[in-house]
Structure 1
Amino acid sequence: MFPDNSIYIVGESKTSTNNAITQQYNGFFIALVVNRDSGEILDAECTSTIDITSNFVKAMFTSKYITDLDFLLEEIESRYFGSSQKALMVAFKNANIKYLQIMNK
Structure 2
Amino acid sequence: MQQEPHTSARYGPNAILAAGMARPSASTPIAVKYDLLLLVMVLDRESGVVLDAECNMLVDVSSEYIASLLVGRCFYTELDEMIAAVQRGYHGLSQKALVVCLKDAFSKMRERSPEPLPPVK
Q: Which residue of 2 aligns with 1:25?
A: 34
Deviation of 1:18 (Å): 2.5
- Cα deviation code 1:57-101 (max 9, x no counterpart): 111111111121111111111111010000000000111112222
- RMSD (Å), alpha carbons: 1.4
Consecutive unaligned residues of structure 2, counting only runs of 5 or more, are 1-9
One-letter amino acid of the structure 2 residue matched with residue 104 of structure 1: P
Runs of at least 4 residues off by over 6 Å: none
Once residues 35 and 97 of structure 1 are traced to their aligned partners in structure 2, the CA distance between those partners, rounded to angstroms, is 17
Q: Which residue of 1 aligns with 2:25?
A: 16
Q: Which residue of 2 aligns with 1:35?
A: 44
Return the structure number with greater helix share.
1
Deviation of 1:38 (Å): 0.5
Match of 1:91 among 98, 101, 109: 101
Greater relative contact order (CA < 8 Å, ≥ 6 in sequence):
1
- Cα deviation code 1:16-73 (max 9, x no counterpart): 1122212211111100001111000000001100111001011111111112111111
One-letter amino acid of the structure 2 residue matched with residue 52 of structure 1: V
Once residues 79 and 51 of structure 1 are traced to their aligned partners in structure 2, the CA distance between those partners, rounded to angstroms, is 16
Aligned sequence identity (%): 29
1:54 aligns with 2:66: no
Q: Which residue of 1 aligns with 2:80?
A: 70
- TM-score between the two structures when normalised by the length of structure 1: 0.93
**Corresponding residue SS for 1:42:** strand
- TM-score between the two structures when normalised by the length of structure 2: 0.81
Rg larger for: 2
Q: Which residue of 1 aligns with 2:54?
A: 45
Q: Which residue of 2 aligns with 1:104?
A: 116
